[in-house]
Amino acid sequence: MFKRNSIDYLAFKPGSFFFQLLLLVCVMSACSCKEQLPDGPPVSTINDDEKEDEPQEPVGETNYVLPNIDLSHWKVTIPVGGPMEVEPPEILDYATNEDLKPFMYNDSTDGGLVFYTYPASSTANSSYSRSELREQMEPGSNSVNWTFKDGGKIKGKLSVPEVSLDSEGKEHRTIIMQIHGRLTNEQRDLIGEDDNNAPPILKIYWAFGKVRVKTKVLKNLNSTYEEMLHTDAWGDDEGVYFQEEVGHDPFTLEVNVSEGRMTVTLNDDETLVYDDIHMEKWGVFENYFKAGNYLASTEAGAYAKVKYYELEVSH
């Protein structure tokens, strides 16, 4: 028969000193085990509700800006084909026209209508290539034009963001706006010409980061009406640079014409005034506005980009 040893019994009797000591050791051992973490990666203590409150990465928004230019009274010439011309209403679909896309397209990052050109096909009376608009007062027709007596105004906001360098390291020039003369059919027949071409009374160049204006002067102020109709009766003036340097940044140009007078204004600040005898004599011609990129170079590798953000004409 098993008999408890009196010493063992007293040592572990509840309430005895040894019993309390043993109980304390067990409790401390349990706490130590609870605090020890297993090996491995740290465990996140963020609950689902806290995750929902975390800031989310914002989704980027792209704003597309398209040019606000009415092309219903313009045709465009590009340096391919004979060269190629696209008139209203086809020009209104330029963004999807496969022939025009390389030379006339939207830059939706800043709302510019880009005109790109390089030396290729040129018109009959020039060796230079162009991606350029030609005003048509009657859409689809070149026969309806205006005189200085009728008056007219063109205003554009534009830039020349890219131009190639010539063999000397200088930027090529390009014509960005024009007023071109035109013979009526009667004038053409009178002087025995085979087309209606007449000189341009105004050429506005982007040249070396500045804007240069050139006009025509009548070589012989005593010329008869018939003599004045010939292209070689007119020569170039010396040309004038505006003082402001525009570089590759956007700028505005405004041209106003009335009987015997023409003004050209840059950035609503500087204005050139032409109101001399040559402007009076020019009244014999009909005219039309032009705007775009008429590259004044035939060098291999030459090119230019001109952007129009705004363009409007009134008569």
* Helix-strand-coil split of the chain, %, nearest 5: 20, 35, 45
Measured CA angle at 264 (ends 263, 266), to 5 deg = 145
Q: Nearest-5° angle of CA 148, CA 151, CA 155?
A: 115
Cβ neighbours for 138, distance < 8 A, ≥ 6 positions apart: 144
Q: At 293, phi and psi to the nearest 5?
A: -140, 100
* Beta-ladder partners of 207: 210
CATH at 261:
2.60.120.200
Q: Alpha carbon 45 to chain centroid distance? A: 53
Q: What is the pLDDT of residue 2?
A: 37
Structural domain includes residue 96: yes
* Res 62: pLDDT: 60
CA distance 179 to 154: 10
Q: In angstroms, what CA-CA distances link 154 with 262, 311, 314?
A: 12, 7, 7
In eight-state DSSP terms, residue 83 is T
At 268, the amino acid letter reads D
pLDDT at 85: 97
- Mapped onto helix, strand or coil, the DSSP state of residue 14 is coil
Residue 60 pLDDT: 52
Distance from C-alpha of 119 to C-alpha of 299, rounded to nearest angstrom: 7
What is the rounded CA–CA span in Å between residue 147 and residue 145? 7
Tens digit of each residue's pLDDT, the chain (315 residues):
433 444 444 444 455 554 454 555 444 544 444 444 344 444 344 444 444 444 444 445 567 888 889 999 999 999 999 899 999 999 999 999 999 999 999 999 999 999 999 999 888 888 899 999 999 999 999 999 999 999 999 999 999 999 999 999 999 999 999 999 999 999 999 999 999 999 999 999 999 999 999 999 999 999 999 999 999 999 999 999 999 999 999 999 999 999 999 999 999 999 999 999 999 999 999 999 999 999 999 999 999 999 999 999 999
Nearest of 105, 85, 80 to residue 95 by alpha carbon: 105
| Residues 73, 136 contacting (CB under 8 angstroms) | yes
What residue numbers bound the domain in which 205 lies? 74-314
- Total domain count for the chain? 1
Q: Which two tokens stand for residue 254?
A: 């405004």
Would you put residue 268 in left (φ > 0), alpha (ψ -120 to 50) or beta?
A: left
Domain contains 85? yes
> How far apart (Å, rounded) are the C-alpha atoms in residues 309 and 111?
6
Are residues 123 and 77 in contact, defined by beta-carbon separation less than 8 angstroms?
yes
193: in domain: yes
Q: 9 in a domain, yes or no?
A: no
Query: Which residue matches tokens 């209508």?
Result: 113
Give the pLDDT confidence score for residue 125 in this predicted structure.
80
**Residues 67, 108: Cα–Cα separation, whole Å:** 8
In this prediction the pTM is 0.80
Examine residue 34 and state whether it is found in any structural domain, yes or no: no
Nearest to 202 by CA among 194, 192, 193, 212: 212
Residue in 289, 292, 295 with CA at minimum distance from that of residue 307? 292
**Domain presence at residue 132:** yes
What are the φ/ψ torsions at residue 2 (nearest 5 degrees)?
A: -75, 130
The helix (H) or strand (E) run that includes residue 243 is strand 240-245
Q: Is residue 278 part of a domain?
A: yes
Three-class SS of residue 170? coil
Residue 119 domain flag: yes
* Residues ≥6 apart with Cβ < 8 Å to 57: none
* The pLDDT of residue 66: 84
User: To 5 degrees, how large is the angle CA 179–CA 180–CA 183?
Assistant: 140
